[in-house]
Structure formats: structure tokens, C-alpha cells
Chain A
Amino acid sequence: MKNDVLIVQSIAKQFQKQRAVDDLSFAVKQGEIFALLGPNGAGKTTTIRMLLGIIKPDSGTVNFELGQGGSGPLSSAKLGYLPEDRGLYRDIPILRTLTYMGVLRGLSRKDASARARQWLERVDLGDRVNDKLETLSKGNQQKVQFISAILHTPEFAVLDEPFSGLDPINQESFIEIIRELRDQGMTIVLCAHQMDLVERLADRVLLMNSGRRVLYGTLTQIRDEAQTASKIILSLTDNADLSALESLGMVQHLERRGAGEYAFYLRKGESLHKFLIEVASRVELLGVHTEKTSLHDIFIQAVRRSGESITEDSQ
């Protein structure tokens, strides 16, 4: 059983009239990838800032247990942070910037420089160490920013939207790196909106909405906790009467997927057998298969159920 390396108890933060985080508790275990999810404005960034000591909670406690001599705030050398709202010095060669970042995290200048070179080689930027950041593509800038967060091999890293701006090839590369870091013992808190990637990486998940905890646990646990509907994909003829199916009480909602395919979400506890009998009696079925409920579905449904709409506004 892994130890908890971060214990957050009942933290809250109020900004003027807005309650950004409200009585939030959770724990992060050593060497796991912990996904912190939520719609825009859910309070993720505020939570992260409180974890890192950038802002103080109005109430509650944040304690790290990483051998820093008792519980409490974490030293800079043990911490890595890739903020969502990020940038680096655009007019300075990337090796110099990375060395500086490493030195601020406790590395010697020589060590920081050597590690920066190694990492730049790893992400195919080895021949651009003396280039200025502004000369790199957005994806390559993202790589440099990622390196700046983990250059010093922290014990605990917070990666906020590490995949933004990356093409699928580089996303895969980053997934591999993050897994490697986890396997080397690094504890990682991951925030991302690419649910499919999170699903592939995360050991445990915390879903927030309106500053509160909505779902928390392993993916299996949250699937159970979410009480998500069964998902059945039906292939129907073009002239099928959908209204007859939508009116079925056991259907929570229906999604049209194109090419005659429809995804039906059944209410919790409804029988698949009964549903298929009902459908077959109303329309002609061309094909049937089921799909495991994705994290994306869980996210959408849980947020909707928590009574809050997903705001697309930036935080």
C-alpha cells in the first residue's frame, strides 16, 4: 500500500464574492499519477496554487509527507510545476533559461546545464540549445516548458495541461515521458482536458465542480461512484422512428453519431435485455454493440448531475 505524500484537508478559498474552492479534501499517493479534473472555473488552478503555497487557503490544511522533516509545505527542490498559464523568457537561449530554472530549484549550474542538454536531446531539440525560445514552434516551446518543470527530477510534480499545443505524435511522446517519470518514483498531479489521455495515464482521479469534489478515486471506483448509464450503440435503418425510442422511459439520453449509428445511455439499473426487446419491437436493428463509459462521459454526466453547467469561460 502506497503512502499518502500529500494530504489536503478541508481547504477553502474565497475571492471577493466568489467561493473558488469549498471544503475540498483529498490525498495523493506516492508514485502515482493523480488527475485533477473539472470544467473551466471549477477551482483547479486555485487548488493547485494552494498546494504549491503560491496562495494560502482561507481554511484547511495542505501537508506534504516527502521526508522534508515532518509534514508541511514542500521545499522548492522537491517540487516541479508546469502552470497552465505559462511562458518563459522569449529572447534568451533556451539552455540558459533551463539552467536558470534548474538552479532556482536547487541544482548546481553545471548539473542544471548538463541535465538541460540531456532533456533537450531527448525531445529532439539537442541542436537548438542556443536558440531563443521565440524562434521555436509552439509545440517545441511547450517541450522546453515541460523540461523546465521536471529538470531537477522533483519528487512531486504538478503538470497543468501538459498536452496543450502538442500534435498527436508529441502527445504520445509526452505520455511515455510522464509514465517513465512516474515509474522512477515521481508523484504527478495531472490536469488536462484531453480525457482520453488522462484515462490512459491516471491512477486516480479527482473531479471538481464549483470548487467542490464531485468524484474521487480510481477509474473503476469513479465509474461506480458516478452511477453512469450503460451505453449501447445501435445501427438503425434510415427510416427508423427515433421518437419512439426517445420516449422510452429507460433511456436517459440519446446521441446521433452519423452513418445510422446512435448511442443510447440507459438509466442506472435499467435492463439491457428489456431495452433491446423494446427497441426490436419498434424499429429494425442492423447492429448492436456496447461501449465502456469513457472518462469523458463520466466527466460530462457528473458535472451535469452536480447541477452546474460547464462554463466555457476561462478562469
Chain B
Amino acid sequence: MNNFRTVLEISRWEFMRWFKLKGMIITFILFVVVGFVISGTRYFLEKKNTTPVNLAVINSAILPQLDFVGSRFVPPATPNETSESDLREMVGRGEIDGLLILRSIDEADLIVPKSPSWQSELEEILSAERRRLKLAAMDVTADQVVDAMMPMTIHLAYHELSRGPSSLAEKIAAGLLIMLMLMGIFNSLACQMVSITGEKQLRVTEQIVSAVTPQQWIDGKILGVSAYAATGTAIVVISSLPFMLVMHLTGSGLPIPIEITNPLNIFVLIVVTLGGFLFWNTFLAAIAATINDPNTSSRSSVLFLPLLPSIAAALIAFKAPESILTRFLGLLPITSPAVLPVRIVLTEVPLWEMSLSLAILIGSIWLMRIVAGRIFRIGMLMYGKEPTLKEMFRWMKEA
């Protein structure tokens, strides 16, 4: 059996050991239900929202009787002769909430800095006026009524001159990403810990290492458990999508930050999340192999301490996403899986920085894997005595 197939078989075994379909279905349903409860509450609150929306309108003559009276849309305090480009810049600077450019009775452009929660309200008002015009302009037939009842098509366009302060939606999105990342990491670390120390305690190790190399074994374990963590995370994300989508369509959900709809950013977020799972699982697999009994080993209690810098770094990134310290932490493999997602959502990360961060992370995983393989090889066959840190450093050096 070749190396790849062996690693794949081990990772499949590890994945199936932990993956419980029933549990995943329950998680899925739970998230959908919780999601709808949250979004329903938000929908209700949104309906009660009376915060004024500064909306400039160009070509308002197309809908001459457009009436915002009674709604929360108010015209901005700008001179009438303000040009479209000036208004767009004002949108970018956040001085007004949006710019509506009426193209025809059927179409309009809405320029906004971020996905607006008030879009459905605006659509209702515009469509009502459009219906009125359509009905007034023609002899009404059945088809015409249907046509007249069609909502007005609004093409949404985003415009930002530069990043302003992070919105609530962005902060929530960044927080959710970190929560997902940490949840996945802790979940997989717990599995990895139980898997490895359990195998040592059950004395399965000798039989396995006579069949596969320790490096194949640890590679398979890391991949399998990381895949399990990724699946769990994906299920959480997927189970959140239906209600997010519904709420977005009804305009009552939390606005989705533009940054996480960018395909490049999505790709980087996925890679950095998987990288985080792999990095921490590699680290933990090596340490767990040196533990005899997780119930009595002092090493068990300090095992998760190395994760603390990640959490601290994420908090720093949250507070100051563009600081030099945050940018530096975004490059370190020990903190980048927690920092980079926050930075991507809260600020603009240059492509070279994302590329460098990912390259360092992937390189570190590879190196860590070799070092972990060495510790794992010796640690897994040690019973009764746990290796000292000095011994472990010696093995790492030899690796």
C-alpha cells in the first residue's frame, strides 16, 4: 500500500471515529432553529427601527410622486446641484447612507457602503410608486396588472473610498469567524487528545506501528481529525446560511459584510481556517503522544495554554486591526489563524500580506509535522514514564 493511500485510510478511520451523523444532523437542526429565532427577533426589532436613513435621490423626476413621508428615509442636507460623483464620495465617506439613482420606471441603482438593512423598505416604497404610475399610464389588462405588480429591480452597487470605522455587522462577522475557528480547534484538539492517549492506554500502538510508519500514522490522524473539525465548522456555517439568506432577502437580517462575499477572501478564510486546524492538531498530536494518562498527567492541564496567545492576538486584532503589532501577529503561524480572519473582515489586507501569511503557515505546518512525527514515534511507545521537556527538545533537534 503506498504512502498516500495509507495516510488516507488512517485519516478516514480517524474521521469516522469521531463523525457521528446523528449528532451532526442534530447540530444542523439546532442551528437552523436558533438562527430563525434570532433572525425572527431581529426582523421584529427591525420593523420597529425608526433610525433615519439619509438617502439622496438622482433623477427623482422619473417617479414624480415618490413620497418618503411616513418612512424613515430623509433627504440629506446637501445642495440640489451636488453632482453624482460628489454624492458617491459622500456615500464612501459614510456621510450619507445611500444614493438612489433612478434609471427608469423599472430600474434603479442603489449606491451604499455596506449591505443595507432598509433595502426592503425602500423597495416597497419604490414599487408602490411604480405600480401607481403603471396603472395610471395604461388601460389595465390582466397582464398589465401582473406586470404592474412586479417589484422594481434595484441593482445594488457598493462604493467605498476608504475603510471607515468597522460596522457592527463587520465586528459580529469577525467575532463569529473567530468563534468558529476556536470552536473547531478545541473540538478537534479534544478528539486528538482522546484518540492518542486512548490508543496508548488501550495498547493499540504497537500493532499499528508494526503496520504503518509513525509519520504515516500521525499524518493520517492530523488530517482525519482536522477534516472532522472542518466538517463540523462547515455544518455550522451551512446550517446558518438558509436563515441568513432569507433574512438578507427580506432585508431584516444582519447586513453581510462585503469582505466575506469576495471570492479571494473566502478562499483565504477557508485556507487559513484549515491551516489553523492542521497547525494546532499537529502540535497537539506530538504532545499527546507523550502523555500516559490524561487523568493524572500534569501535561494535560497545560496542553491548551499555547492556544491562549491566539485568543489574545484575536482580541488585539479586534481592537486595532491595522496596527503594526496586529499585522505582525497576522504573519506568525501561532497567531495568524486567529488574526487573519479578523483583519480580512475588519480591514483591507494587502494580497502580499495574505499570501505571505498563508505561505508561512503552510511551511510551519510542514515543519511541525516532521518534528511532531519524531516526538510521536518515540512518545507513542513510551509507557510508564513521560519524557521530559529536555528529551522532547532533543528529539526535535534530531528531527
Residues of chain B with a CB closer than 8 A to A101's CB: 207, 211
Would you give the shortest CB distance from B146 to chain A, in whole angstroms? 58
Residues of chain B with a CB closer than 8 A to A88's CB: 202, 204, 207
A60: Cβ under 8 A from any B Cβ: no
Closest to B383 in A: A85
Partner of A87, one of B6, B202, B209, B211: B202
B1: Cβ under 8 A from any A Cβ: yes
Residues of chain A with a CB closer than 8 A to B212's CB: 76, 104
Query: CA–CA, A54 to B212, complex, Å?
Result: 10
Most chain B CB within 10 A, of A77, A81, A88, A104, is at A104
Whether the Cβ atoms of A81 and B207 lie closer than 8 Å is: yes
Interface residues on A, range: 20 to 34
A148: Cβ under 8 A from any B Cβ: yes
Whether the Cβ atoms of A100 and B204 lie closer than 8 Å is: no
Residues of chain B with a CB closer than 8 A to A165's CB: none
Most chain B CB within 10 A, of A49, A54, A77, is at A54
Within 8 A of A (CB), among B198-224: 202-204, 206-212
Most chain B CB within 10 A, of A82, A100, A101, is at A100
Partner of B206, one of A77, A83, A106: A83
Whether the Cβ atoms of A83 and B211 lie closer than 8 Å is: no
**How many interface residues does B have (CB within 8 Å)?**
18
Query: CA–CA, A105 to B5, complex, Å?
Result: 11
Whether the Cβ atoms of B203 and A104 lie closer than 8 Å is: no
B66: Cβ under 8 A from any A Cβ: no
Residues of chain A with a CB closer than 8 A to B103's CB: none
Whether the Cβ atoms of B6 and A54 lie closer than 8 Å is: no
Closest to B216 in A: A104
Closest to B217 in A: A104
Query: CA–CA, A90 to B17, complex, Å?
Result: 12
B367: Cβ under 8 A from any A Cβ: no
Whether the Cβ atoms of A106 and B1 lie closer than 8 Å is: yes
Residues of chain B with a CB closer than 8 A to A149's CB: 207
Residues of chain B with a CB closer than 8 A to A100's CB: 9, 13
B381: Cβ under 8 A from any A Cβ: yes
Would you give the shortest CB distance from B175 to chain A, in whole angstroms? 36
Closest to B214 in A: A54
Query: CA–CA, A86 to B207, complex, Å?
Result: 7
Q: A76-B210, A104-B208, A104-B212 are in contact. Are A87 and B1 (CB under 8 A)?
A: no
Q: A92-B17, A100-B13 are in contact. Are A52 and B203 (CB under 8 A)?
A: no
Q: A87-B203, A89-B202, A104-B9 are in contact. Are A54 and B209 (CB under 8 A)?
A: yes
Whether the Cβ atoms of A54 and B210 lie closer than 8 Å is: yes
Query: CA–CA, A83 to B381, complex, Å?
Result: 12
Whether the Cβ atoms of A148 and B206 lie closer than 8 Å is: no
Residues of chain B with a CB closer than 8 A to A87's CB: 202-204
Would you give the shortest CB distance from B11 to chain A, in whole angstroms? 12
A166: Cβ under 8 A from any B Cβ: no
Would you give the shortest CB distance from A134 to chain B, in whole angstroms? 10
Would you give the shortest CB distance from A83 to chain B, in whole angstroms? 4
Would you give the shortest CB distance from B383 to chain A, in whole angstroms? 8
Query: CA–CA, A253 to B235, complex, Å?
Result: 76
Would you give the shortest CB distance from B221 to chain A, in whole angstroms? 13
Would you give the shortest CB distance from B200 to chain A, in whole angstroms? 10
Would you give the shortest CB distance from B29 to chain A, in whole angstroms? 26
Whether the Cβ atoms of B17 and A105 lie closer than 8 Å is: no
A192: Cβ under 8 A from any B Cβ: no
A35: Cβ under 8 A from any B Cβ: no
Whether the Cβ atoms of A103 and B9 lie closer than 8 Å is: yes
Going nearest first, the 5 A-B pairs with the smallest beta carbon separation are A87-B203, A87-B202, A83-B206, A81-B210, A104-B211
In the complex, 18 of the A-B residue pairs with CB atoms within 8 angstroms, ordered by the A residue number, are A54-B210, A54-B381, A76-B1, A76-B210, A79-B210, A81-B207, A83-B207, A83-B210, A86-B203, A88-B204, A89-B204, A90-B202, A100-B13, A103-B1, A104-B10, A104-B208, A104-B212, A105-B211
Q: Apart from A81-B210, A82-B207, A86-B204, what are 8 other A-B pairs with CB-CB below 8 Å?
A: A53-B210, A81-B211, A83-B203, A83-B206, A86-B203, A89-B202, A100-B9, A104-B208
